[in-house]
Amino acid sequence: MATSKSANTYNRQGWEEADFPILCQTCLGDNPYVRMTKEKFGKECKICARPFTVFRWCPGARMRYKKTEVCQTCAKLKNVCQTCLLDLEYGLPVQVRDQALKMRDEMPKSDVNKEYYIANAEKQLAEDGPSGSLGKSQAPSDILLKLARNTPYYKRNRPHICSFWVKGECKRGEECPYRHDRPTDPDDPLADQNIKDRFYGQNDPVANKLLDRYSQMPKISPPEDKSITTLYVGNVSDDITEKDISDNFYQYGELRSVNIVKGSQCAFVQFTQRSAAEAAADKAFNKLIINGKRMNIKWGKSQAQQGLREAAANKPEEPQVNPVPGLPGALPMPPEELSNNFFNLPPPVHHGLPRMRPPPPTLSIAGRPPMPMGPPMMRPVYRGPPPPGTMRPMMLPRPPMMMHYPSQDPTRMGAPQPSENK
């Protein structure tokens, strides 16, 4: 049954035709004179299912032939290679890049919505050019700087494993174009990879392995002592000056001092604030490069703790002396009641007065004050007021009692004593 002309024309308008593929350096190979075969509308894109131009080539000697897997529109949307689907700038899976840059995948999964989205994205790319918003990458992050692959990895282009050699039936020997090697473990997560998972950045085993490696990388943590504001900078060569170091660290905060120790090839950078030192340590750790050399960043140590450690390290070890045989052992500890009695004195005896029974309460008589309370021998007797016309006897002051001090003894002061026998 013949199809209508309008439908056939509409379908062919969505097909992609290109003159050269979008490839990374690893997939292209190390040979500068590569020979490619080009086939228009050779296969359907494995993402959008549109026919596109397929390229096929051999990246180098003893390598397997490779071909493009997705169309150029899908590759531009994710900024990935058409063959390996890794990021063109960092050489990492899409899942790692999107997680590092905090990007969201807005590409639909259904066929109808995907076709409409691809058509609009292709128009926008044609208007904005190669530097459009969909084809540009964002600023790098710490994960990308640590995991990025800067050099090509040609080992990925090796041929597949020969299944006949695994079974022991390969008769080609060295002329076999496949690799004679043991296969990977079937339980290995890397053995089960899907091109759609790689493109959409979901459940990619390679991305999960890289993220686990990043979580296990060494990280610099600030010390508990808040008074430490000094950073140790290692691998400082002779051509690096204090100005070079201060120019790289002054952007994080005000510097108090920069000291370079030429003999140890290190430097000490001290900040005025702890927050500036933490920012410098976090952003310069394993990232600072001065004059082509990567600096080793660490936190400085407290001078008090360092002095104690040096004193403990320089303290001579005392020789261990064996006990002398025949000597009595250590005395037992005194009991608790004798812990403060150093002279083993008897406890003091307290002679207290016998407790007396309190007298009965007295009744006050009209016109007379109540009798005071006290011991019977010291209780004053009330004799009433004196008769009128009589005078109260006066109390004369008692003469002071003479006190005798031993120092007033004339015999002790050196006075001559009269002899008894004259």
pLDDT (tens digit, 9 = 90+) per residue, 219-257?
Answer: 788 888 888 899 999 989 888 999 999 999 989 999 999
Burial of 42: CB neighbours in 10 Å, binned 0-12, 13-18, 19+: middle
Residue 108 token pair: 């639909």
Please report where in the chains the tokens 């990007």 appear, as a residue.
103
Question: Higher pLDDT residue, 88 or 305?
Answer: 88
- Pick from 20, 28, 36, 22: nearest CA to 154: 28
Please answer whether residues 54 and 206 qualify as being in contact, where contact means their C-beta atoms are separated by less than 8 angstroms: no
Mean pLDDT, rounded, for 202-221: 85
Say whether pLDDT at 130 is over 60: no
Find the helix or strand (DSSP H, E) in which 53 lies. strand 51-57
Please answer whether residues 15 and 41 qualify as being in contact, where contact means their C-beta atoms are separated by less than 8 angstroms: yes
Measured between alpha carbons, how far is 7 from 222 in angstroms, rounded to an integer?
Answer: 66
Measured between alpha carbons, how far is 143 from 116 in angstroms, rounded to an integer?
Answer: 34
Residue 186 token pair: 């079937």
Residue 373 token pair: 């309370």
Q: What is the DSSP letter of 266?
A: E
Q: What is the DSSP letter of 418?
A: P
Task: Give 116's Cβ-side CA count (13 Å radius).
Answer: 6
3-state secondary structure of 309: helix
Residue 142 token pair: 């710490």
Question: Higher pLDDT residue, 40 or 217?
Answer: 40
Measured between alpha carbons, how far is 399 from 422 in angstroms, rounded to an integer?
Answer: 40
Instruction: Give the chain's domains with CATH numbers.
Output: 8-175 (no CATH), 230-310 (3.30.70.330)
pLDDT (tens digit, 9 = 90+) per residue, 100-116?
Answer: 888 877 777 777 777 77
Please answer whether residues 96 and 207 qualify as being in contact, where contact means their C-beta atoms are separated by less than 8 angstroms: yes
Please report where in the chains the tokens 């394993």 appear, as a residue.
286
Q: Which alpha helices (DSSP H) does 168-273 contain, by range?
A: 195-200, 205-215, 242-249
- Give CA torsion, residues 162, 163, 164, 165, to 10 deg: 60
pLDDT of residue 81: 94
Please answer whether residues 115 and 53 qualify as being in contact, where contact means their C-beta atoms are separated by less than 8 angstroms: no
Please answer whether residues 35 and 66 qualify as being in contact, where contact means their C-beta atoms are separated by less than 8 angstroms: no
pLDDT (tens digit, 9 = 90+) per residue, 313-355?
Answer: 677 776 776 777 777 777 777 666 555 666 666 766 655 555 5
Say whether pLDDT at 83 is over 60: yes
Measured between alpha carbons, how far is 334 from 340 in angstroms, rounded to an integer?
Answer: 10
End-to-end CA distance of the chain: 175
pLDDT of residue 24: 92
Residue 355 token pair: 């407790």
Q: Which amino acid is at 206?
A: V
pLDDT of residue 21: 93
Percent of the chain at pLDDT exceeding 90: 23
Q: Kindly tell me the sign of the dihedral angle through the C-alpha atoms of 104, 105, 108, 110.
A: negative
Q: What are 44's strand-pairing partners?
A: 51
Burial of 298: CB neighbours in 10 Å, binned 0-12, 13-18, 19+: middle
Residue 134 token pair: 């969909």
Sheet of 66-67: strand order equals 36-44, 51-57, 66-67
